[in-house]
Structure 1
Amino acid sequence: ALAKAKLLDERSKRVRPGLDDKCLTAWNAMMIKALADVSQVLDYPEYYERAKVAAEFILNNLVTPDGGLYRNYKNSKATIPGFLDDYAFMIEALIALYEVDFNEEWLAEAQSLTNYVLANFKDEENDMFFYTSSNGEELIARKHEVMDNVIPASNSVMAQNLQKLGLFYDDETYSDKASAMLKSVLPRIKAYGSAYSNWCIQLLNEVYGVHEIAIVGNDIQEAKDELNNYFIPNKIVLGGAKSELPLLQNKKSQETKIYVCVNKTCQLPVSNVAEALKFIN
């Protein structure tokens, strides 16, 4: 113990190594989505609450005056204009939060950030988005991040976001952009599929369609919890008694009703998850 104390005393005289304790928007957004998803799978609301706190922190502290995102937060200060992955993962996280609590403010924030991306990251000569914003630092060349790696490419995540928001808001501008991005990368998927794994998810959604599951009624939580017991990768889930979303219009009911729709065509409503799964399987 005496030797350790002497060593500690000598070590304390040295210059301490730097501490990388910055908070990155993109990495936090990935964690927010993970917590939101797992909160439903494991029925563990504490994960959702933590995701909600983190998302609110980003929206309150890392939004630029013109409605964009900062990338970095350290020492109570937000710096560096956000890159495409910051937007892509944050939009994805906001959509995930909506599918937990059906609070449409999350979708509104996701839509706002998506419109910002469309305005500031677009390439007039390419279907992909630039990695850097047009109003950021001027560079010799602006690149596109397309190939998926350990972390999915920002463009592949953005394409999935556009597809989902196109369904939520019945906005073909989003859907057409997502399809154009996938079409652009399709030849590379055929040549080197393992480098485009997240794009392949988008391809499967295009081929097999995305199930739009709308749950309405005064007490929908039980049905939603039961639905969470089933792995349905190609789906979006909507719900709530009062909603402005197109798919939920004219679908009000006091009793719990579940609608399963694909490509703007809905099956007759059913009253339980077991019946709804027949339309999916």
Structure 2
Amino acid sequence: MNRLQHATSPYLLQHAGNPVDWFEWGEEAFAEARRRDVPLLVSVGYSACHWCHVMAHESFEDPGTARMMNDGFVNIKVDREERPDVDAVYMNATTAMTGQGGWPMTVFATPGGEPFYAGTYFPRAHFQRLLAGVSEAWATERDAVVSQGAKVVAALAGTGTLPDGPLPGREVTEAAVRDLAGTFDTARGGFGGAPKFPPSMVLEFLLRHGTPEATRMAEATLEAMARGGIYDQLGGGFARYSVDAGWVVPHFEKMLYDNALLLRVYAHWWRASGSPLARRVALETAGWLLREMRTPEGGFASALDADSEGEEGRFYVWTPAQLREVLGAERGAFAAAAFGVTEEGTFEHGTSVLRLPADPDDRNMLDDVRAELLTARAGRVRPGRDDKVVAAWNGLAIAALAETGALLGLPHLVDAAREAAGLLDRVHISGGRLLRTSRDGRAGGNAGVLEDYADVAEGLLALYGVTGESRWYERAGALLDTVLARFPDGAGGFYDTPDDGERLFQRPQDPTDNATPSGRFAAAGALLSYAALSGSARHREAAEAALGVVTALADRHARFAGWGLAVTEAALAGPVEVAIAGAPDDPRTAALHRAALMAAPPGTVIALGDGGVPLMEGRGPVNGEPAAFVCRRFTCRAPMTTPADLTRELRTPAAG
């Protein structure tokens, strides 16, 4: 066992038995490289990464390759999910040097951490030649190697900035819709070609924008994904991406962040349309989160692996013979037709990924078949689970579960959101500062980055809007105070790491969305909501300044500004503020609350409960009846006491 046996990251623990003398990221590794006068080899990946497993089996478990690594380098293994800052700066270097990125990421750096050569997955023979070549260059051409590292760092120092501006207007969001329409796949949904990733933040923007064209693109994509192989037709939940343009064959890993974001979008689609498909997918995805991703402490695990029994997708795929074995001949044929399972197969070795191109006439039989197949599948060897709790992704899950539970009338989902928030409050948050990860109820040592603060604040504010429990509003406010104190870049944006965080060769800062909302756009959304509840001009101004960069992205790169555009829609709508005054246990209060939730325009904030939030101050029942006040920037219309009046007010153009 190497040094990683003491790690808390499941990904690092996967490598604890390698013959490679791995170090965790930290000063010990840098000091050892200086002492030995050798380069660093920094290997970055994550537990659910298929090609990370392949490179591990081919190279890191091979004694000969390990010997070359140990003799010539100090080797550092990094879990990108624990250290997104380290991942970000080295990914910038990798893409700058090679034109592409991905994981596993392999970076050679000076003992000071400056990268001079990088790549992603290397087959063993190629990797061994590379190790020999870098060792030779370090021994015979040291000055050139060090100079290359300095040049890379200097070049990266001048990149990544985008022009800021004022809060974008309607013309910017309209330009974004036109840009998205230019890459929209009218036949199969989604944007661009293969591989296709679920465009969660873009879909939220399109639903909020609400024009016929925006709604058409959103609904077509949501339906195509829900009926495709990227969605687990038996157990619910979405895989990371589709390897093809038609959503048929996924890359089978399942990530918490994808499912949290998509759960919220499908719930919002149901709210806007009443679609039975949207409701079913929201219910099933929420059920999957609680059944397969919840930890004993009440948080949510990071990911499920793509592989089981050494094969990608083995847990999920079926043959016609396997269907007949479980269901019998007649029902097996029904299942094969419904789910697109053929003798030729859509995946490997004659297996097929289950899809549901259309609902069959016999819905009851479909439900029975799904239940039986899910029970049978439970007897297979399950993919591994990365059970560390990441603060940011749990924040996304809290928001999704709280809102879905409230919209669909499922209190147990709200309870799950509350429990996850309690775990973050107990384990991750102290004095307004946030730790990024925990495992088994014990916090890790990695400081929270901007997305952690922003996404947790977003989740806590959503939870407050559903429960009226003011402590979540207060916790969010403390986190956002830290954002404003520690993360600003002085030009209206934010760095991804705090000003008192670890110094890397570059301070990471990326305003664009990736698989999750960028830290900057997530911060803008949480700041805007908090300002609407608190009346704080400081928070409102910071949110608007952070959104200024959206203008530079909207008309050519809207796919990378989805959350910024969604928050912009909320800002342009007000956002609308709804204060509901009345006894919490009064059914009339609950009816007003539900009306507000169901009719809410984009980004609406809802205040209720027993005070503690400025939006509630001075607003109470009217003639003894619970009342709802619809406001913008604390200027309110006349109070309403019936759900019908509140719904009408929220759905009029003047209110939304």
Do they superpose with TM above 0.5?
yes
Q: List gaps (5 residues or longer) in structure 2.
A: 1-16, 19-52, 54-383
RMSD of aligned residue pairs (Cα, Å):
2.0
CA shift in 2, pair 1:155/1:268, >3 Å: same
Residue in structure 2 matching 1:58, options 420, 424, 439:
424
Partner in structure 2 of residue 21 of structure 1: 387
Residue in structure 1 matching 2:468, options 84, 99, 102:
102
Partner in structure 2 of residue 235 of structure 1: 604
**What are the Cα deviations for residues 57-92 of structure 1, in whole angstroms up to 9, with x where unaligned?**
11101124x431111112443121111111111000
Cα shift at 1:256: 1.1
- 16-25 or 127-136, larger mean C-alpha shift: 16-25
Partner in structure 1 of residue 503 of structure 2: 138
CA distance, structure 2, for counterparts of residue 226 and residue 264 of structure 1: 20
Residue in structure 2 matching 1:38, options 384, 400, 404:
404
Cα shift at 1:212: 0.7
CA distance, structure 2, for counterparts of residue 251 and residue 137 of structure 1: 46
CA distance, structure 2, for counterparts of residue 202 and residue 156 of structure 1: 8
CA shift in 2, pair 1:74/1:247, >3 Å: closer
Cα shift at 1:134: 1.7
Partner in structure 2 of residue 3 of structure 1: none
* 2:591 and 2:643 in contact (8 A); partners too: no
* 2:399 and 2:458 in contact (8 A); partners too: yes
CA distance, structure 2, for counterparts of residue 247 and residue 26 of structure 1: 27
Partner in structure 2 of residue 10 of structure 1: none
* 2:592 and 2:646 in contact (8 A); partners too: no
1:274 equivalent in alignment to 2:633: no
Cα shift at 1:246: 2.6
Q: Secondary structure at the match of 1:233?
A: coil
CA distance, structure 1, for counterparts of residue 388 and residue 617 of structure 2: 43
* 2:620 and 2:626 in contact (8 A); partners too: no
Partner in structure 2 of residue 68 of structure 1: 433
CA distance, structure 2, for counterparts of residue 146 and residue 58 of structure 1: 25
1:113 equivalent in alignment to 2:479: yes
* 2:569 and 2:602 in contact (8 A); partners too: no
Q: Secondary structure at the match of 2:601?
A: coil
1:221 equivalent in alignment to 2:590: yes
Q: Secondary structure at the match of 1:92?
A: helix
* 2:494 and 2:546 in contact (8 A); partners too: no
* 2:547 and 2:568 in contact (8 A); partners too: yes
* 1:215 and 1:258 in contact (8 A); partners too: yes
1:123 equivalent in alignment to 2:465: no
- 153-162 or 134-143, larger mean C-alpha shift: 134-143
What is the 5 A alignment of 1:190-201? 190-201=555-566
Residue in structure 2 matching 1:252, options 596, 617, 620:
620
Partner in structure 2 of residue 89 of structure 1: 455
- 169-178 or 199-208, larger mean C-alpha shift: 199-208
CA distance, structure 1, for counterparts of residue 552 and residue 564 of structure 2: 12
- Write the letter of the residue equivalent to 1:155: R
Partner in structure 1 of residue 550 of structure 2: 185
1:47 equivalent in alignment to 2:416: no
Cα shift at 1:273: 1.9
CA distance, structure 2, for counterparts of residue 270 and residue 48 of structure 1: 26
Partner in structure 1 of residue 520 of structure 2: 155
CA shift in 2, pair 1:137/1:229, >3 Å: same
Q: Secondary structure at the match of 1:110?
A: helix
Query: Percent same amino acid among aligned pairs?
Result: 27
- Write the letter of the residue equivalent to 1:142: R
- 71-80 or 209-218, larger mean C-alpha shift: 71-80
CA shift in 2, pair 1:27/1:104, >3 Å: same
- Write the letter of the residue equivalent to 2:466: V
Q: How many residue pairs align between the two structures?
A: 264
Q: List gaps (5 residues or longer) in structure 1.
A: 1-14
Partner in structure 2 of residue 262 of structure 1: 632
Residue in structure 1 matching 2:534, options 152, 162, 169:
169
- 46-55 or 211-220, larger mean C-alpha shift: 211-220
CA distance, structure 2, for counterparts of residue 256 and residue 150 of structure 1: 42
CA distance, structure 1, for counterparts of residue 508 and residue 473 of structure 2: 28
* 2:388 and 2:439 in contact (8 A); partners too: yes
Cα shift at 1:21: 2.7
Partner in structure 1 of residue 102 of structure 2: none
* 2:567 and 2:603 in contact (8 A); partners too: no
CA distance, structure 2, for counterparts of residue 161 and residue 136 of structure 1: 22
CA distance, structure 2, for counterparts of residue 268 and residue 201 of structure 1: 29
CA shift in 2, pair 1:120/1:234, >3 Å: closer
- Write the letter of the residue equivalent to 1:243: G
Cα shift at 1:261: 1.0
CA distance, structure 1, for counterparts of residue 389 and residue 405 of structure 2: 23
Q: Secondary structure at the match of 1:237?
A: strand
Q: Normalised by the size of structure 2, how large is the TM-score?
A: 0.39
- 263-272 or 151-160, larger mean C-alpha shift: 263-272
Q: Secondary structure at the match of 1:258?
A: strand
Q: Secondary structure at the match of 1:158?
A: helix
| Structure whose CA Rg is larger | 2
- 127-136 or 107-116, larger mean C-alpha shift: 127-136
CA distance, structure 2, for counterparts of residue 246 and residue 73 of structure 1: 33
CA distance, structure 1, for counterparts of residue 560 and residue 449 of structure 2: 21
CA distance, structure 1, for counterparts of residue 614 and residue 395 of structure 2: 27
CA distance, structure 2, for counterparts of residue 98 and residue 136 of structure 1: 30
* 2:596 and 2:606 in contact (8 A); partners too: no
